[in-house]
Homo-oligomer: A and B are copies of this chain.
Amino acid sequence: MTRLIDREFLDLCLHDWLGTGDIAARDTVDAVLDLSETLARERFLTHFKAGDAQEPRIGAQGVTVHPEVRAAIAEYAELGLFGAGFAEDLGGHGLPFVVSCASFAWFAAANIATSSYAMLTVANARLIAQFGSPAQVDAFARPQIAGEWLGTMCLSEPQAGSDLGVVRTRAAFDGQDDLGRRYRLVGSKMWISGGEHDVGGNIVHLVLAKVAGADGSLPEGTAGLSLFIVPRVLPDGKRNDVAVAGLNHKMGYRAIPNCLLAFGENAGAVGWLVGEEGQGLRQMFMMMNEARISVGLGAAALACRGYGHALAYAQERLQGRGSDGAPVPIIEHAAVRRMLLAQKALGEGALALCLYAARLVDAHADDAESAALLALLTPVVKTFSSETGLEANAMAIQVHGGYGYTRDFDVEQVWRDNRLNPIHEGTTDIQAIDLLARKLLKDGKGLAVLKARIAATCAAADGFADEVAALQAAWSDVDAALEMLRLRDAALDVATPFLFAFGHAVVGWIWLDLAIVARGKGKRIEAGTAAALRYFIACELPRVRAWLACCTAGGAVLEADAGWM
């Protein structure tokens, strides 16, 4: 049986490391994880390949997706998983965010494309629950929390990707009703996952648009963005003026359609304003921050799944001979073990990092320290997981040799699916600017919290003196580079290698912290955690210095005219 995620490791993270017991009953958590794994296997994993081979199509009936998606999402709803993390008075189950993330990881590992219907819907409903009026919550959030309707986030346009300031979708005021200030929207939205499909129920689009001034002109920049709820079907049962203008044909992530949506080709799409005008980006960012954690989590889950496949293959496949001349499973070869350890250290390290951040979401409402640390770690969660998750998946293929390159095995698709994760919800370069400019150079609070926690870990790390020394040296290099960048005008030039370095230094700490906690928790988990720590310190942490060297020397290099023309 394919191992999706190492349950013992997940339990270590939740119960022993993150103290989930303080915010949820252990048996509840266990039951949710059991149920999640079972459903992920029985309804999501089952069409992992079929959903890739038979991608969404557009026809006279609209967009049709693989039929098993519908059954999977229906059962996900029936078991109450859409509502897992919502308060009970919203129809949810009141589970902590970290537990709903741990649940979600199983579905992402099994079938990241199908799981993303749920991810987007939950993020959408959380935003409406946070910023919408009570009537909006009732009308649009509750049906999503119940899993009866699904949701999207409509930010990008063909000409507006990383730069949302140039969004051109326009909204014109159209009156007031029970659901709030009503507008008519006209414009195109690109890269809309789940933008149209036959999975069932209504689709709630959350759309960023600009309200035109009296002279018809749109406000400049992101400050002019407002957020609108634009349902596919209006409360009166009529179809809203939203049409799918085309599907993007992706390399992976195929069980969910990715659409170009045309709003308002006729009378204008009806949408209700969320909160006030001009608050759209701020509101969307709350959703986006959680979506970034979810993307990181999905990437980490895929890294763990690839590792599971590679490990199983390495234990079975005979090739080469041992010292006695007899055939051996390839896990006996150091080169293969290196790739397995790397996948474990990167994939499970990323998973732990994501769960750590999710635990901060639960804590941050009443804890400024947690909030600052969460803000700092969000771009790291997104980027470390997606970039190194992809490296881990490439190694999963390599362990399989030629077999890994064929569609008879799963690892090639896992790698293709995971390639989206460094792109969507803010590319790696966007995350890097967020980390360096907003989270470090502008405000040092998050870093101070992080450094204090690292110091506490190092102080408790009896028996890991070498690892502590290496970690402290890496952080002292990071500090020195940051001080250098603080003095440089064009520090953002090298924000990306800085983010890579920072992320590895963070995950070095995560592994040290995990290894301390794993002591005495059973031979297998203790040995595995210590081995991953040692591998990370020996073979991953040295990359920190290489990336920082690029930060130090690279700025001037990037200015050069390289004879592009």
Contacts and interface: CB of A to CB of B under 8 A. Distances in A.
A334 B493 contact: yes
Interface stretch (A85-93, A95-103, A124-132, A540-548): A540-548
A527 B560 contact: yes
A172 B165 CA distance: 75
Interface string A266-306: 00000000000000000000000000000000000000000
A404 B422 CA distance: 12
A248 interface: yes
Contacts of A341: 557-558, 560, 562
Given A423-B404, A557-B534, A334 B490 contact: yes
Interface string A307-319: 0000100010011
A553 B524 contact: no
Nearest to A430: B335
Contact of A423 (B162, B248, B405, B564): B405
B427 A250 contact: no
A201 interface: no
Contact of A402 (B331, B423, B492): B423
A401 interface: yes
Contacts of A394: 390, 419
Nearest to A539: B550
Contacts of A7: none
21 contacts: A156-B402, A161-B319, A163-B319, A163-B320, A248-B408, A249-B406, A250-B407, A334-B493, A340-B562, A344-B562, A394-B419, A523-B563, A527-B561, A527-B563, A534-B560, A535-B562, A538-B550, A539-B549, A539-B553, A539-B557, A542-B546
A454 interface: no
Contact of A159 (B161, B318, B523): B318
Given A315-B564, A394-B390, A398-B427, A557 B545 contact: no
A191 interface: yes
Nearest to A165: B321
Interface in A189-243: 190-191
Nearest to A251: B412
A424 interface: yes
A338 B162 CA distance: 17
Prevailing SS type, chain A contact patch = helix
Interface string A411-454: 01001100110111001110011000000000000000000000
A504 to B, nearest CB: 10
Interface stretch (A374-382, A479-487, A494-502, A507-515): A494-502
Question: Among A321, A559, A560, which residue has the most Cβ atoms of chain B within 10 A?
Answer: A560
Contact of A249 (B401, B408, B429): B408
A525 interface: yes
A554 interface: yes
Contacts of A162: 319-320, 401
B338 A496 contact: yes
Contacts of A561: 527, 531
Contacts of A315: 564
A346 interface: no
A459 interface: no
B492 A334 contact: yes
A60 interface: no
A528 interface: yes
Given A402-B423, A497-B539, A539-B549, 4 more contacts: A248-B402, A251-B406, A337-B562, A535-B557
A251 B394 CA distance: 13
Given A250-B407, A495-B335, A560 B539 contact: no
Contact of A553 (B159, B495, B538, B559): B538
B401 A423 contact: yes
A166 interface: yes
A530 interface: yes
Contacts of A337: 558, 562
Given A390-B394, A546-B542, A432 B335 contact: yes
Contact of A542 (B331, B420, B550): B550
A550 B335 CA distance: 12
A163 B321 contact: yes
Contacts of A163: 319-321
A179 interface: no
Contacts of A490: 334
Interface centre among A321, A327, A525, A543 (most CB of B within 10 A): A543
A306 to B, nearest CB: 14
Contacts of A319: 159-163
